[in-house]
């Protein structure tokens, strides 16, 4: 089934209107980075339990960090038409946010390639936060994940940008 739309600006749509992966083979390889951020809000009991390593499932932030890294590495399996990338680095960090209360997560993805790593950073931070929820839901089933955004990207023909 085709959309019938033949807009030259739609990079993931072929001339006949069908979905396609963008051909990046003519693009030069450059260092590309992306930083994404998000947060999880929770009640004060869950915040205290995570901080003091008193959640029954274990060290919540350590497990969530690994989950985020693993997810970032598998982004092309999760997002249709996303290029599989060889990542040079992926890092997930958490910051305590007593004002929420909760945690802010930041993910950094880096590669030398022909396409950016924005999706990898966004997927990494998202899965890290979902993992916090999964591990701490016995303490708080009303946690809220939000404010997920791309904060920065570098590399490629469009250069650097900041957002969020």
pTM value?
0.88
The answer to whether the Cα torsion of 160, 115, 122, 6 is positive or negative is positive
The answer to whether the Cα torsion of 158, 12, 116, 72 is positive or negative is positive
Is the pLDDT reported for residue 2 higher than 50? Answer: no
pLDDT of residue 4: 45
Query: Catalytic site residue 134?
Result: yes
pLDDT tens digit sequence for 73-128: 999 999 999 999 999 999 999 999 999 999 999 999 999 999 999 999 999 999 99
Q: What residues does each domain of the chain span?
A: 37-154
Q: Which residue has the higher pLDDT, 16 or 104?
A: 104
> How far is residue 50 CA from its own chain's centroid?
22
Q: Please give the class, per CATH, of domain 37-154.
A: alpha beta
Q: How far is CA 129 from CA 13, 81, 116, in A?
A: 32, 24, 22
The one catalytic residue among 16, 26, 99, 134: 134
pLDDT of residue 146: 97
pLDDT of residue 14: 76
């Amino acid at each position: 089934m085709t959309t019938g739309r033949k807009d030259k600006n739609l990079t993931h749509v072929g001339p006949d209107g069908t979905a396609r992966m963008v051909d990046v083979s003519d693009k030069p390889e450059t260092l590309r980075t992306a930083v994404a951020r998000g947060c999880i809000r929770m009640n004060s009991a869950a915040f205290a339990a995570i901080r003091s390593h008193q959640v029954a499932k274990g060290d919540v932030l350590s497990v969530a960090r690994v989950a985020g890294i693993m997810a970032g590495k598998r982004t092309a399996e999760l997002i249709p038409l996303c290029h599989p990338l060889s990542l040079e680095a992926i890092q997930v960090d958490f910051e305590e946010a007593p004002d929420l209360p909760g945690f802010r997560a930041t993910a950094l993805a880096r590669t030398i390639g022909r396409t950016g790593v924005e999706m990898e950073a966004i997927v990494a931070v998202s899965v890290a936060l979902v993992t916090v929820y999964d591990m701490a839901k016995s303490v708080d089933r009303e946690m809220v994940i939000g404010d997920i955004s791309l904060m920065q990207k570098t590399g490629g023909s469009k250069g650097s940008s900041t957002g969020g």
